[in-house]
Amino acid sequence: MILKRELYQRHGYFKGILIVLSFQVSRLFKLFLNIFKKGEGRLTVSEDQKRSQYKGMLALTVNKQGEIQCTGCGLCQAVCPSDCIDIQFDKKKKGVGAFNIDLLRCVFCGLCEEACPIDGIRHTAEIPSPGHFEQNWNVGISTLAFRKSLNDGKGLLSKYTLDPKDLDQENEHFLEDEGQTSNA
C-alpha cells in the first residue's frame, strides 16, 4: 500500500525534508537520463497529423464557376452549439443573401462542417485572428469565401459540384412562405 512508504510516515522536521529531497533528486536524475534517450517508446505526431486535426478559420467553399457552394439550407446554423452562424436566405437570388460568423462566439468544434451535406463550409489550417475592433469580430461572405489566403482570393474549391436544378428543389421550402415556387 502506498501509505506505508517512508514518505508518508511521521518524521522529524529535518528528516522529512531529507526524505522529500531524496525522492526529488531521484526523479530529477531519472528525468535527466530520459532526455538523452533516442525516442524509444515516445509518442510523436507528424505535422500532417496536426494539420488534419486542427480546426482553424472557417471558409465557405466555391464551385468550379467561382460561385459560393452554400445553398442556405441552415443545417450548419441549426447544429452550431454556440449559435455563432447567421444565415439569411435571399428569395430573389434563390440562394444565400448573407452569411455571418461571430468569431468570438465560435468554439471551432467542426459540427457545421460535418452537418453540411454539400461541403459548403470547411475549416482551414489558418489561425483565426478577429483583432481588437468589434467590426472584425463578425465575418461575412467576402471574408469567408474570397479572402486572399484562399487560393489568392478565388476561394476554396468544393469537393462536390451541384446541379442548378437540384438547388431549386432544395430551396423550395424557403420560397413557399411567399407562395412562390420554382416550378411555377
Domain borders along the chain are: 7-34, 55-178
Higher pLDDT, 16 or 184: 16
Q: What is the mean pLDDT of the chain?
A: 77
- Smallest CA-to-CA distance from 144 within 96, 81, 78, 111 is with 96
Pick the CATH number of 55-178 from 3.30.70.20, 3.40.50.720, 3.20.20.70, 3.30.70.3270: 3.30.70.3270
pLDDT of residue 183: 44
Task: Grade residue 78 by pLDDT with cuts at 50, 70 and 90.
Answer: very high
Cα distances from 51 to residues 22, 56, 83, 91, in angstroms, run 43, 9, 26, 38
Helices (H), the chain: 13-35, 47-53, 75-79, 111-115, 141-146, 164-170, 172-175
